[in-house]
Structure 1
Amino acid sequence: MELVNSALEKLLSFFQKPLPKFFFPISCILFVYVVIANSWVTEDAYISFRTVDNFLNGFGLRWNTYERVQAYTHPLWLFGLIVLSFCKIPVYYSSLILSWICVGTTVYLFISRFGKKEGDWQYGSWILLTLLISRAFVDFSSSGLENPLSFLLIILFLSKAFDLEKKVDFRGIFLFFFYLSLSYLNRQDTVLLGLPFLLYLYKPFKERESWGKFIGAAVLGLLPVLFWSIFSLIYYGYLFPNTAYAKLNTDLTVSHLWPYGLDYLENSFRWDIFTSLSISSIILLLPYFVWKKRFLHAATSAGIGLYVLYVCSIGGDFMAGRFFALPFVVCLFLLSEISPSYLPRVSVLFFVALFLLNQNSYLYITKDYTRLRNDKEIQDEKGAYFRSTNLLRSFKFQEYPTHGWADAGRKYKKSPKDPDKACATINVGFYGYFAGENRKIIDSNALTDPLLSKLKSVSNWRVGHFTRNIPVGYLESVTSRQNQIQDPNLKVYYDRLKLLTESQDLFTKERFVEILRENLGGNRYLLLNSEPRTPWVGIPEGFACGLGVGY
């Protein structure tokens, strides 16, 4: 028995020791290698890239140059792309450089914060290794989407939120709400992770005599949201991006979407077990945090739970892991704050077992990697596009990405057929970007189309692809710039919509009245349709963009 106790003591002593300092340079080199070797860009990112190019070419923040539509979810990320692309960096590389900057800064903040507590920042090597175990994090540490900036902003927000426990002052409250505002501007639904912290702030507000001063700091921190909302309302005619209407205004109820959300959750457990277990463990610890009166920890856990519930309620997504990368980063932040003594060495064991010894891990990826995996409505998005869009392969080609839809766009731009004629497709990313700014493209999934985003989706929809049937006469209307829609109510609505999206003068009384009516639901009766949901009938004959059968 003494021998067993002695062995257990030695084992516990081993796990409670900090990691050797030589782990740090090794983990840094490994982290940089894996992130760069796994850098890629998804087709959906090119929807935003088209807006970037149109802005830099003097057309404004537009996707189709003839109308003002916010076809991007992430204003802050978009402006980051614009800044880098303005410096003559191709937008493909701009997205990767911006991703690396955000990920690198996130990791720096992580490690430096942990190092301050432990007395030496080199003890933070376990954080780098733990991030690499998460497929969701590695997949979306690039991709051209806004995830890397969301990682950075949530760490800035959480760091400030936890610091407020020690000192609540004007500057701290201002930065707390400022980082929350920036998170909103990067992607609106990420603020769910920060909402529980507002309850925590109630007590210091209540107890301080100068509470009015701190309310002022909060209002000042929220000004970016106010300014963007005013701009969006005036320029686009709406408070929210068109992508939100396309994906949430589908006439589908939560009961339709929940089963798909649960499938998304289940898929994460099967394809990315470490990420899923980490998130689940932190959520399950919520009662313990409340019992121990660790309210900051409880707020973090509740925010993760709230975010996951939201993801499930909207049906999850078709990109495996995309919406679990951010809550995983939040989980890791909370673990670094709790910092149990055994955590670094246990993390290294997980790293060795799940990453180093796993031949399917992203440590062993090559530029020709392809993994076409589908799980019901969910796809391994990186596996599908990596060979066509990864960084290492990009240096070998003058025209990149090397994807058929991109080639179709390039072909059209070089020798346009019917240049004034509108076309429709359900894959607008690559094609829309490479076809050029003059091509009038209608997105049947409604992400970039202000009219279709207000209609109910078809009966055979797919998560993240809420396709709409194109109204009779709509494509002819876009081509001729004359309203030829046959449905009488929809025809009236389209005339009113054009006032918002195509009027040359933004500041007319007529347009402001229409903005008010549209956003208060005054046009809703024109869109009501009690007929049952119908299957997708496809692209009207003669209006396909030519990306293949049905496109």
Structure 2
Amino acid sequence: MTTARSLTTLSGVISAVVVAALGFYGGWQRRWMSDDGLIVLRTVRNLLAGNGPVFNAGERVETNTSTLWQYIIYIGALISGSRLETIALWAALVFTTVALFIAAVATAKLYQGNNRLLLLPFGGILYISLPPARDFATSGLEWGLSLLWIATWWFLMVQWVEDARLRWGIKYSYLLAFCSGLSWLVRPELALYGGLSGLMLLIMDRKNWWKILLAAIPVPLAYQVFRMGYYGLLVPHTAVAKSASGSQWGDGWFYLMDFVTPYHLWLGVLIAAAAAGLRVWNATREASISVNRRTVVIGLTCGAALIHFLYVLRVGGDFMHGRMLLLPLFTLLLPVSVVVIDRQRIPTTVAAAGLFIAGMGWSFATVLGGHPYQLPEGDEAPLRIVDERIFWQLATYRDQPTRYAEDFLTARNMNNFVPMLEQGRAAHDAQLFQIRLSQHPLVLSWEPRPRTTEHTDLADMPLSLTMINLGMTSMNAPLDVRVLDNMGLANPLAGRQPRVVNGRVGHDKNLPLEWQVADSAVPLDAVPSWVDKAYVKRAREILYTPEYQKLFASYRSPLTFKRFLANIKFSLGAGRTLQFQEDPAAYQGPLPVVDPLPINWPRDIKLDPVR
């Protein structure tokens, strides 16, 4: 006969299975690939080819925010030999599914000692009902991995509440310490979560402090030393390009309203808060030896999520609808991943059942309502926040969302990209420029320009091109083509520009075309007519000044042990603070004209392996 306690456990497992199944179905139904997701895959291609963890061979630039995500795709490619887009899609979707399952199981374990409870799926269903939550269950980005880390972190903290041990005697607290240390390598802002849980462990288990540090520190410390020596930075280069040093609360509030309004999300949050409040009220009437630890864990989880939420608002949000608010929202819902029906307390049972029905009603309405989106009218209409999945489907004139790199070739700004790129490679040209064939209607194309015949270090620069949409260009180009962007994700010159006042969040840096041409093998007499030659000439001279030379050496010069040590020093000094001005007139004084130090070094570029 099934006991009451086993029924509680069984209902928790069933709840986890239900929410995981719904999450998998919802994510699969909306599967797609984003342009930003393709950026990750370019680095994986270079890893597979043997060029190292770089975006452009010969330039040590870390363009991916999540360190672990790129290596997970890399390992998947080594094992399966499948297309990178397919590996990224399946990994993200499976991670999201497992995260929803673990979150529900972990929350159910908080109630496993009570033999009269029935558990129903709740918080995970509220989360996955949101269109952006299902969109970013794939997309090629690390959101699935981030959810999995958060869910695992939550599960380990619940095990710590009970002071649980693995079968071979290792305490879960040490696994929690290890997980906390990995947070920085999943996404930098998750260090907030890992830091708080690590601090909690050190305070609550002071006598074993050295074991906790031994579990938490070695892996992230080893990678941090590697990052400083290899890339010359303390943080991923994306953090330099998207510097969060200023406050943009107004933009953050606008971003929040863009997320909340279409789904009446405030109502879903109120229902979840009421469910949490009901559970807290019931908990005050229950005696438990672990109630203090449980309170600490739940408080820490919600506190970390709220701080994360405020951080997103402070930096101005994002340019993708809902994306940056998904992780703190998922975390806030963890304590109510399941809703509790206490079969021996009729009033609270009725209240809990009512909240469950209300939550499922809101979720159902949210799924049905979706998120209607249209492209802004007019070619010059500003883009602020977009529904990225629908945006790229419309911008590529497709009946289905983009899923592979070649799907983006039908976008207007990719017109003639592949044939003109191949023409430029065949002629050993220097730069591929985007050109405008007509204004009304707007028709774009590409045009290669020849390479300098002068014996300078820039003459060995690979065929280069620049476009803000870094993923679609880089994944449709061979690895011997240098692909850059004007806002700095792959271009340190652009990443160290001052922020554009009132610029689009996440796209508020811009390197003028003249600087891009200056840092290429294009001779002055081949500069296009719409580019200021005098500006290019002056900019090219400025590139050889000491502060620029130090930057170029940090990520372009051959990696020797001496360079590795120099990069560590650079990362602690100028690597943190160096900024440039876009106006050449801002650089005064004599410039070197005789035997200047190089800013470009020969590179051995390996192409994609034949698979």
* TM-score, normalised via structure 2 length: 0.70
Mapped contact 2:193–2:304 kept (Cα < 8 A): yes
Aligned to 2:88: 95
Map 1:100-139 onto structure 2 (within 5 A). Answer: 100-116=93-109, 117=111, 123-126=119-122, 129-139=125-135
Larger Rg: 2
Mapped contact 1:19–1:344 kept (Cα < 8 A): no
**Alpha-carbon deviation of 1:61?**
1.0
User: CA separation in 2, counterparts of 1:25 and 1:284?
Assistant: 21
Change in 2 beyond 3 A, CA 1:130/1:439: same
Task: Give per-residue Cα distances to partners, 1:379-438, cap 9 Å, x unaligned.
Answer: 111221246899995899994355425665433454436543222222211012112212
Change in 2 beyond 3 A, CA 1:139/1:343: farther
Change in 2 beyond 3 A, CA 1:22/1:486: closer
Mapped contact 1:41–1:389 kept (Cα < 8 A): no
User: CA separation in 2, counterparts of 1:29 and 1:390?
Assistant: 32
Aligned to 1:539: none
Q: Read off the aligned partner of 1:153 and give its amino acid letter.
A: W
Instruction: Specify every segment of 5 or more residues in structure 1 that has no aligned partner in the other structure, as ranges.
Output: 1-15, 363-368, 534-551
Aligned to 1:544: none
User: CA separation in 1, counterparts of 2:500 and 2:402?
Assistant: 41
Q: Of 70, 73, 81, which residue of structure 2 is paired with 1:81?
A: 73
Aligned to 1:51: 43
Say what the alpha-carbon RMSD is for the aligned residues.
Answer: 4.3
Identity among equivalent pairs (%):
20
**Alpha-carbon deviation of 1:202?**
4.7
Task: Give per-residue Cα distances to partners, 1:203-235, cap 9 Å, x unaligned.
Answer: 4234xxxx1x33323232222211111111121
Map 1:491-510 onto structure 2 (within 5 A). Answer: 491-508=545-562
User: CA separation in 1, counterparts of 2:276 and 2:403?
Assistant: 49
**Alpha-carbon deviation of 1:314?**
1.1
User: CA separation in 2, counterparts of 1:396 and 1:246?
Assistant: 26
Aligned to 2:355: 346
Mapped contact 1:77–1:186 kept (Cα < 8 A): yes
Change in 2 beyond 3 A, CA 1:275/1:487: farther
Change in 2 beyond 3 A, CA 1:343/1:112: same
Mapped contact 1:73–1:241 kept (Cα < 8 A): yes
Q: Of 556, 569, 575, which residue of structure 2 is paired with 1:516?
A: 569
Matched, 1:160 2:156: yes
Q: Of 379, 391, 406, which residue of structure 1 is paired with 2:386?
A: 379
Mapped contact 1:133–1:355 kept (Cα < 8 A): yes
Secondary structure of the residue aligned to 1:44 is helix
Larger displacement relative to structure 2 (303-312 or 388-397): 388-397
Task: Give per-residue Cα distances to partners, 1:26-64, cap 9 Å, x unaligned.
Answer: 766544332211111111111111111111112111111
Mapped contact 1:135–1:321 kept (Cα < 8 A): no
User: CA separation in 2, counterparts of 1:487 and 1:283?
Assistant: 64
User: CA separation in 2, counterparts of 1:308 and 1:512?
Assistant: 37
User: CA separation in 2, counterparts of 1:511 and 1:480?
Assistant: 31
Task: Give per-residue Cα distances to partners, 1:351-375, cap 9 Å, x unaligned.
Answer: 334425864338xxxxxx9744799
**Alpha-carbon deviation of 1:506?**
2.6
User: CA separation in 1, counterparts of 2:523 and 2:224?
Assistant: 29
Mapped contact 1:289–1:298 kept (Cα < 8 A): no
Aligned to 2:530: none
**Alpha-carbon deviation of 1:24?**
8.5
Mapped contact 2:146–2:327 kept (Cα < 8 A): yes
User: CA separation in 2, counterparts of 1:345 and 1:390?
Assistant: 45
Q: How many residues align?
A: 500
Change in 2 beyond 3 A, CA 1:73/1:415: same
Q: Read off the aligned partner of 2:305 and give its amino acid letter.
A: I
Task: Give per-residue Cα distances to partners, 1:471-506, cap 9 Å, x unaligned.
Answer: 845533333799974464873222112221112233
Task: Give per-residue Cα distances to partners, 1:165-222, cap 9 Å, x unaligned.
Answer: 221776333211211222210111122234443454354234xxxx1x3332323222
Mapped contact 1:40–1:389 kept (Cα < 8 A): no
Mapped contact 1:445–1:465 kept (Cα < 8 A): yes
Map 1:330-369 onto structure 2 (within 5 A). Answer: 330-336=331-337, 339=340, 342-343=351-352, 346-355=355-364, 359-361=368-370
Mapped contact 2:232–2:570 kept (Cα < 8 A): no
User: CA separation in 1, counterparts of 2:403 and 2:301?
Assistant: 45
Secondary structure of the residue aligned to 1:311 is helix
User: CA separation in 1, counterparts of 2:13 and 2:209?
Assistant: 43
Aligned to 2:145: 149
Secondary structure of the residue aligned to 2:205 is helix
Secondary structure of the residue aligned to 2:60 is coil
Change in 2 beyond 3 A, CA 1:515/1:335: same
